[in-house]
Homo-oligomer: A and B are copies of this chain.
């Protein structure tokens, strides 16, 4: 699911770039995840396959994957962001507020919303960034409440910065 690993490597070679052990590890780490990952988390996951991997290379590879379109950005309420593998060219993230799982949603018909916005603002609307949030199937079944799995940081920060 999510990213097709073979496609990613095809795109890399098509650009005249090289498939390295490090890139394989980063792509695998991202492709395997159903949860938002920070660059640091990608680093830690990929490092299990490739212990001598450097954080610098993770950043460089994530940028490359972004150019290829294999990553989708997920914005948190406070503006920081995380990355999830993108399964298709046009899709949106649906984020579970409880466990952090991210699922892709592709059947977005924004026609009515775009018409309403055009009426209200006069803009000629050509694009949209949409992200839905709620409870995934598992979390909804477990009960309606708050965070079960503390693994996912609900505030959506890349990482805990200051102590505050």
Query: Could you say which residues of chain B place their CB within 8 Å of the CB of A68?
Result: none
Query: Could you say which residues of chain B place their CB within 8 Å of the CB of A113?
Result: 108-110, 113, 130, 132
Check if A129 sits within 8 Å of B130, measured CB to CB. yes
| Proximity bits, A101-118, B CB within 8 Å = 1, else 0 | 001111111101110110
| In the bound complex, CA of A143 to CA of B97 (Å) | 42
| In the bound complex, CA of A94 to CA of B126 (Å) | 10
Query: Could you say which residues of chain B place their CB within 8 Å of the CB of A127?
Result: 97, 132-134
| In the bound complex, CA of A129 to CA of B78 (Å) | 12
| Proximity bits, A47-85, B CB within 8 Å = 1, else 0 | 000000000000000000000000001010111010000
Task: Tell me whether A112 and B114 are in contact in the complex, defined as CB-CB below 8 angstroms, given that A125-B132, A135-B124 are known contacts.
Answer: no
Check if B117 sits within 8 Å of A94, measured CB to CB. yes
Check if A123 sits within 8 Å of B135, measured CB to CB. yes
| In the bound complex, CA of A162 to CA of B128 (Å) | 28
Check if B123 sits within 8 Å of A128, measured CB to CB. no
Check if B133 sits within 8 Å of A105, measured CB to CB. no
**A interface residues (Cβ-Cβ under 8 A, vs B):** 73, 75, 77-79, 81, 92, 94, 96-97, 103-110, 112-114, 116-117, 119-137, 140
Q: List 17 A-B contacts (CB under 8 A).
A: A75-B75, A75-B79, A75-B81, A75-B129, A94-B125, A105-B116, A105-B121, A107-B116, A108-B116, A109-B116, A113-B130, A113-B132, A122-B137, A125-B134, A126-B133, A127-B132, A128-B130
